[in-house]
Structure 1
């Protein structure tokens, strides 16, 4: 399991970029889970379990399935929202939104987990870094239909303004053509849903994304 600083004053200097995936693929129970090993094999190095309507037991089972499918290829698995389920499943990390457990508390509870924090402004990123986050999931950079209730797209220039305190993982409307643009603007990596699962050939699309984030 990757290790990051447990200090509540963690900064980008205490977080190894090698720990943070360049390409996160979000995974729901309705996705074609049989493709997970192939996605990891072509270079998807991060998987985020996102099952907001599932029971705790269902999330636990899904997380364990994902870990078993992708960890042999060296990929990281994080769980959306739930520190307890991440720990119970033996996941590598957790990704926390604005309404989830505060980052600083999650860091105290789980000092060895990779902790991602959803951020929308440079101030959010600075705060997450001070609280001990490992990376910032930053967005929506472009318009997306994968999640409702999001603010207007921030645009790739917003990544440049937010760089520094933490590795940025750009999310929101990212596809292969935009992944390189996000990295050029300052993102460490990207997170995708539709660009993989909505593609005619998810594995081929993942391969293009891996090449784009380089």
Structure 2
């Protein structure tokens, strides 16, 4: 089951809040810490799994199938330069496999290779990751919907999450909307309500 609300997590975030975020209804967490060495990334992923699984939330690891398997995570999210979706599906048939997509054609390709969902975006401008392409906009969500569950990402907050869902997204993924909010728990509750 693809989560409605993914919260991306790195080693820089306040991990003590994870159980409360999961209890508030954040049903997916993506571990994304590109600068960590493999051992530290496995340790981080294990910590996230232990913190949120009691509430029933799922955990995927960004880029690294090996880390997802070692940490006992529920899935992996793969970008264009990562392990191919078809290879991940073959190696880990039981895991949730997500693929980064920016167009309907990419969503169709991801589906044909065995992806379970598409991380779609950036929908809006975002300051959370350097080097992102231009935002695709809400209309692109509508155009790409209906092939795989779309998890929209990029500049999404509680005020825009509902619009993205109405446009056809299954759910959303956020970083700053939770972690840069003065009260991450309040922000999470607002986002949960917006994607319900």
- TM-score bracket for this pair, using the shorter chain length: over 0.9
Cα deviation code 1:44-88 (max 9, x no counterpart): 000000010000011100000000000000000000000011001
C-alpha separation in 2, matches of 1:149 and 1:53: 16
CA RMSD, Structure 1 to Structure 2 (Å) = 0.4
Where has structure 1 moved over 6 Å in runs of 4 or more?
none
Higher relative contact order (CA 8 A, sep 6+): 1
Give the equivalent residue in structure 2 for 1:183.
165
Aligned length: 196
Give the equivalent residue in structure 2 for 1:130.
112
Pick one of 71, 81, 88 that aligns with 1:99. 81
Matches within 5 A, 1:193-204: 193-204=175-186
> Shift in Å at residue 164 of structure 1?
1.3
Are 1:164 and 2:146 an aligned pair?
yes
Secondary structure in structure 2 of the residue aligned to 1:47: strand
TM-score (normalizing by structure 2): 0.99
The answer for unaligned runs of 5 or more in structure 1 is: 1-18
Give the equivalent residue in structure 1 for 2:51.
69
C-alpha separation in 2, matches of 1:132 and 1:27: 25
> Shift in Å at residue 165 of structure 1?
1.1
TM-score (normalizing by structure 1): 0.91
Secondary structure in structure 2 of the residue aligned to 1:115: strand
